[in-house]
Amino acid sequence: MNTLEEFNQYRSQMNEKILDLDNKVLKRIFSLDSLTFQEGALNIATKELLGLACSLVLRCDDCVKYHLEKCKEAGLSKEEIVEAMGIANVIGGTIVIPHLRRAVEYLEVLEQNPAE
């Protein structure tokens, strides 16, 4: 099982456990999250870029990985993704660099494991 599958499996499994806790607030956060990234005045690609950049400045590696996957699914090019990450790095400062390293590493994994 590669990094990609491992990450996704852990996420799915734990998301299920969280929903099984049967806590109304947590359930609503999850459904709100889905609603948020649906097509609207902004298209999905733009929304995922927003999710990616916000995750980078807030320095959440798992969130970055998730949105990198979604960015690829939405058909964004590597150049577009890298530019969004550059913006996040300027706004968030050099403290973002270690997260950028892991993001670039994960982007490489995604490129080697194209969704079928």
Of the candidate residues 1, 2, 79, 114, the single one contacting a copy of itself (CB under 8 A): 79
User: Is 105 among the residues that bind a copy of itself (CB under 8 A)?
Assistant: yes
User: Is 24 among the residues that bind a copy of itself (CB under 8 A)?
Assistant: yes
Decide whether 22 or 116 has the Cβ nearer to a copy of itself.
22
Decide whether 24 or 116 has the Cβ nearer to a copy of itself.
24
What DSSP character marks residue 95? G
Provide long-range contacts, Cβ within 8 A and 24+ apart, for 46-49: 48/73, 48/74, 48/76, 49/76, 49/80, 49/81, 49/84
Decide whether 3 or 29 has the Cβ nearer to a copy of itself.
29
User: Is 57 among the residues that bind a copy of itself (CB under 8 A)?
Assistant: yes
CB 29 within 8 A of CB 21: no
C-alpha 75/C-alpha 24 separation (Å) is: 34
Of 12, 108, 96, 40, which is closest to residue 68 (Cα–Cα)?
A: 108
Q: Which residues bind a copy of itself (CB under 8 A)?
A: 10-11, 14-15, 17-18, 21, 23-26, 28-29, 32-33, 35-37, 40-42, 46-47, 49-51, 53-55, 57-63, 77-80, 82-98, 100-102, 104-105, 108
